Amino acid sequence: NANANNATKTLSMDTPLPQDTERAQFIMKLAPRIRVLEKNVNHAIAQHLERVLKKRMAHHGHGYNNGQGQGHGHGQTQAQTDLLILGHLFRSFALLNRGTDAQAIFANVAIMPIVRPKVSIGKLDVLRMVE
């Protein structure tokens, strides 16, 4: 029964395996490929997240978020479709334990364009002088 439990466990790159097992040797041979694949997947979903967020930001305030727009099957608007895609992308980052990457992309694409016009180094200096 112990062998059956070990066989059904999900392996991760952090799971220590004894060096003398055949499985450990197999995983060690695949480790570089796994890392490259993980890097490529993370890069792809990061690009996709950035693209969808930029599209939403560009359409914000133009009837995009208030239910207007072209339908995409079953009565969905483009905004609803984008929100569904964003949910999938954020879950993908969570599964890869790369939530901080998603946060950084969201901050750069969605938050910083709002903050930049309102806060500048000059304005911060003035606030510091007032204190």
Q: Is the pLDDT of residue 117 over 60?
A: yes
- Of residues 127 and 117, more confidence is placed in 117
pLDDT class of 73 with cuts at 50, 70, 90: low
How high does pLDDT run on average in the chain?
A: 78
Question: Distance between CA 70 and CA 74 in Å, rounded?
Answer: 12
CA–CA gap between residue 103 and residue 24 (Å, rounded)? 34
- Per-residue confidence band for 101, with pLDDT thresholds at 50, 70 and 90: very high
pLDDT at residue 66 tops 70 = no
Q: What is the pLDDT of residue 41?
A: 95
pTM for this entry:
0.62
Highest-confidence segment of 43-52, 69-78, 104-113: 43-52
Residue with tokens 């992308």: 89
65-70 long-range Cβ contacts below 8 angstroms, 24+ apart: none
68-83: b or e for each residue (b if 16 or more CB lie within 10 Å)?
ebeeeeeeebbbbbbe
The model's confidence at residue 69, banded by pLDDT at 50, 70 and 90, is: very low
pLDDT at residue 39 greater than cutoff 50: yes
